[in-house]
Amino acid sequence: MSRVHPAGPRHADVLPEDHPLPPAEDLNELDPLIWPRSARRDGAMTVAGVDVRDLAQEFGTPLYVYDEDDVRTRAREYAAAFADGDVHYAGKAFLCTAVARWLNEEGLGLDVCSGGELAVALAAGFPTERITLHGNNKSVAELDRALEVGVGRIVLDSFEEIARLGYLAQERGVRPKVMVRVTTGVEAHTHEFIATAHDDQKFGFSRSSGAALEAVRRVLALKQLELVGLHSHIGSQIFDADGFEVAAHRLAELLVAIRDEHGLELPELDLGGGYGIAYLPGDEPIDPKALADSLHEIVGRECRSYGLAMPRLTVEPGRSIIGPGGITLYEVGTVKDVEGLRTYVSVDGGMSDNLRTALYGAEYTCVLASRESGADATLGRLVGKHCESGDIVVRDVWLPEDLAAGDLVAVAATGAYCRSMASNYNHVPKPAVVAVRDGGARVIVRRESDEDLLRLDAEVEA
Ligand SMILES: Cc1ncc(COP(=O)(O)O)c(C=O)c1O
Ligand SMILES: N[C@@H](CCCC[NH3+])C(=O)O
């Protein structure tokens, strides 16, 4: 028999049977790099002083729980690190009006990539001049709404869009600030589906084919658009600076080409998001201050070498602000020991509230949260309640042998791209979202009900 090691090396590394199980006490530990900053354990787990058993009792499970101070602190750390630039939180990671308000209060801008995200920002009273609109296929209605409310910047992604926006701006008699999104050809070290700057994908204007410079020409030809800079986003969950360095170098070359051709030095550079967080023990999250120092150094060096003034830098972190402060609480429903292999622990949610494991083979860790256990470890797999074998939340994890129905399990670092990519597969309503702070909890997004799901069914019996 062989065992699959749950904490790396990555992706199903098979270990011999005599591989030592971790000591029982390790199963109760909460690695501070992975769990929300206020997560503690005193028998049961608490977050911001709130006992997870009380959360489950009051709000039900599955439940997304956000440590508000964790999110605010990370936002503040980014704002301080990029004090001479701009930090635009990427709302796609998770957005609701409460989160938009927190980030506004912490002085951040907001990146939205749809009319829906823009609507949430507006509902939260987010200052429109600090909103950037993204997207590779924005509709005419989305572009026009952005002009109507006066968003701060629109990032242009296609030739059709340049023409559309020019026309719409003229119709409205406005002159929006725009950026040109550049595909720098960087191969980011991350999952294929979340790398966004290699040539063979859908985003932006290719640098290598000359499309980026042609886009700049067309924008400048339209007096109705104010070109303020270039944008690049190389991908998501990236840990090393190499990709950003290559992207900065290629962007600087473009800035020079634009200066030489048009006599214009663009004042802004948006380097996107993508900064990695810890999901498993041993992952080393990117520190905002170190990131800021390194990006300033890289861009500064490139600009100096070409005799360009240092542009104002913007970054668009999503995951690294909202991810680590969020956990998901589930209740265990069944425990099946598959002799000689592993224990399947089924919980009351799954791929409808966290698609990342099924979609990207993403790795998570989880703990028994409603109590401490002194039982020996067993190799577990946390699975959901959906009709798919791939409905896995945590692929490989050591769990206490006495884990049983009724226990609560908490999955770490689910704050980003879980609620925002949730679905109603199998007509399962989306869980509620709760914020915890100073010993108190409040619902920030209500749980869906069967009635919510039926409301849109046009032929339901009255
Ligand atoms: C244009 C853009 N900016 C920012 C982000 C945020 O990325 P992350 O959440 O990895 O920081 C994304 C998503 O990858 C994006 O597409
Ligand atoms: N949704 C992805 C990241 C892509 C973000 C958008 N460009 C994730 O869960 O990791």
Q: Is 275 annotated as a binding residue?
A: no
Q: Which of 319, 355, 419 to mutate to test the pocket of ligand 2 (most atoms within 8 A of CB)?
A: 319
Residue 379, C-beta contacts closer than 8 angstroms, at least 6 positions apart: 3, 4, 6, 341, 342, 343, 396, 397, 398, 399
Q: Do 379 and 282 belong to one domain?
A: no
pLDDT at 17: 54
* Count of the separate structural domains present in the chain: 2
The domain containing residue 312 runs over which residues?
82-320
pLDDT at 252: 93
Q: In angstroms, what is the span from residue 273 Cα to ligand 1's centroid? A: 4
- Ligand at minimal distance from the CA of 316 is 1
The C-alpha atoms of residue 181 and residue 202 are separated, in whole angstroms, by: 11
Sign of CA dihedral 74, 190, 311, 176: negative
Question: Is the residue at 401 inside a domain?
Answer: yes
Q: Do 234 and 347 belong to one domain?
A: no
CA end-to-end span of the chain, whole Å? 57
Q: Is the peptide bond before 285 cis (omega within 30 degrees of 0)?
A: no
Considering only CA atoms, which residue is closest to atom 16 of ligand 1? 233
Task: Find, among 265, 317, 254, 250, the residue nearest to 86 by Cα.
Answer: 317
pLDDT at 197: 65
Task: Find, among 300, 360, 341, the residue nearest to 10 by Cα.
Answer: 360
Q: Do 91 and 56 belong to one domain?
A: no
**In 3-state terms, what secondary structure has residue 194?**
helix
The C-alpha atoms of residue 94 and residue 109 are separated, in whole angstroms, by: 14
Task: Find, among 382, 324, 390, 329, the residue nearest to 361 by Cα.
Answer: 390
Considering only CA atoms, which residue is closest to atom 4 of ligand 1? 273
Domain end, chosen from 268, 292, 320, is at 320
Please count the other Cβ atoms lying within 10 Å of the Cβ belonging to residue 304: 12
Domain end, chosen from 272, 300, 320, is at 320
Q: In angstroms, what is the span from residue 134 Cα to ligand 2's centroid? A: 14
pLDDT at 20: 65
Q: Ligand 2: which residues within 6 Å by Cβ?
A: 92, 194, 196, 236-237, 356, 417, 421
Question: Is the residue at 1 inside a domain?
Answer: no
Helix residue ranges per DSSP H, 183-328: 211-221, 242-262, 288-306, 319-322
Question: Is the residue at 235 inside a domain?
Answer: yes
Q: Do 111 and 200 belong to one domain?
A: yes
Question: Is the residue at 73 inside a domain?
Answer: no
Say which amino acid occupies 74: R
pLDDT at 245: 85
Q: Do 217 and 364 belong to one domain?
A: no
Considering only CA atoms, which residue is closest to atom 13 of ligand 1? 236
Q: In angstroms, what is the span from residue 28 Cα to ligand 2's centroid? A: 30
Q: Do 205 and 104 belong to one domain?
A: yes
Answer whether 237's CB lies under 8 Å from 191's CB. Answer: yes
Query: Residue 316: CB within 6 Å of ligand 1?
Result: yes
Task: Find, among 262, 279, 283, 280, the residue nearest to 218 by Cα.
Answer: 262
Q: In angstroms, what is the span from residue 452 Cα to ligand 1's centroid? A: 30
Q: What is the pTM of this model?
A: 0.94
Query: Residue 91: CB within 6 Å of ligand 1?
Result: no
Q: Is 406 annotated as a binding residue?
A: no
Q: In angstroms, what is the span from residue 361 Cα to ligand 2's centroid? A: 13
Q: Which two tokens stand for residue 221?
A: 């030809």
Domain end, chosen from 305, 320, 335, is at 320
What is the H or E stretch that residue 205 is in? Answer: strand 205-206
Based on the residue annotation, tell me whether 387 is a catalytic residue of this protein: yes
Q: Do 312 and 337 belong to one domain?
A: no
Give the CA count within 13 Å in the CB-facing half-sphere of 139: 7
Q: Which two tokens stand for residue 97?
A: 């009006």
Q: Which of 244, 319, 320, 418 to mutate to test the pocket of ligand 1 (most atoms within 8 A of CB)?
A: 319
Q: In angstroms, what is the span from residue 19 Cα to ligand 1's centroid? A: 39
Q: Is 85 annotated as a binding residue?
A: no
Q: Do 151 and 89 belong to one domain?
A: yes
- Ligand at minimal distance from the CA of 357 is 2
pLDDT at 194: 60
- Ligand at minimal distance from the CA of 273 is 1
Work out whether strand 432-437 and strand 63-67 pair parallel, antiparallel, or are unpaired. parallel
Question: Is the residue at 16 inside a domain?
Answer: no
Q: Which two tokens stand for residue 214?
A: 């042609």
Answer whether 410's CB lies under 8 Å from 52's CB. Answer: yes
Q: Do 138 and 233 belong to one domain?
A: yes
Question: Is the residue at 461 inside a domain?
Answer: no
Query: Residue 324: CB within 6 Å of ligand 1?
Result: no
What is the H or E stretch that residue 395 is in? Answer: strand 392-400
The C-alpha atoms of residue 380 and residue 387 are separated, in whole angstroms, by: 19
pLDDT per residue of the chain (462 residues) written in tens, 0 to 9: 334 445 443 334 444 455 567 887 788 889 999 999 999 998 999 999 999 999 999 999 999 999 999 999 999 999 999 999 999 999 999 999 999 999 999 999 999 999 999 999 999 999 999 999 999 999 999 999 999 999 999 999 999 999 999 999 999 999 999 999 999 988 766 666 666 667 788 999 999 999 999 999 999 999 999 999 999 999 889 888 888 888 988 999 999 999 999 999 999 999 999 999 999 999 999 999 999 999 999 999 999 999 999 999 999 999 999 999 999 999 999 999 998 889 999 999 999 999 999 999 999 999 999 999 999 999 999 999 999 999 999 999 999 999 999 999 999 999 999 999 999 999 999 999 999 999 999 999 999 999 999 999 999 986
Q: Which two tokens stand for residue 404?
A: 């049983």
Q: Is 164 annotated as a binding residue?
A: no
Q: What is the DSSP letter of 275?
A: B
Q: Do 151 and 193 belong to one domain?
A: yes
Q: CATH number for the domain including 361? A: 2.40.37.10
Q: Do 186 and 275 belong to one domain?
A: yes
The C-alpha atoms of residue 101 and residue 108 are separated, in whole angstroms, by: 10
Question: Is the residue at 417 inside a domain?
Answer: yes
**Residue in 113, 366, 387, 418 annotated catalytic:** 387
Answer whether 241's CB lies under 8 Å from 271's CB. Answer: no
Q: Do 221 and 182 belong to one domain?
A: yes
Q: CATH number for the domain including 206? A: 3.20.20.10
Question: Is the residue at 2 inside a domain?
Answer: no
pLDDT at 26: 84
Ligand 2 atom nearest 420 alpha carbon: 1
Answer whether 188's CB lies under 8 Å from 238's CB. Answer: yes
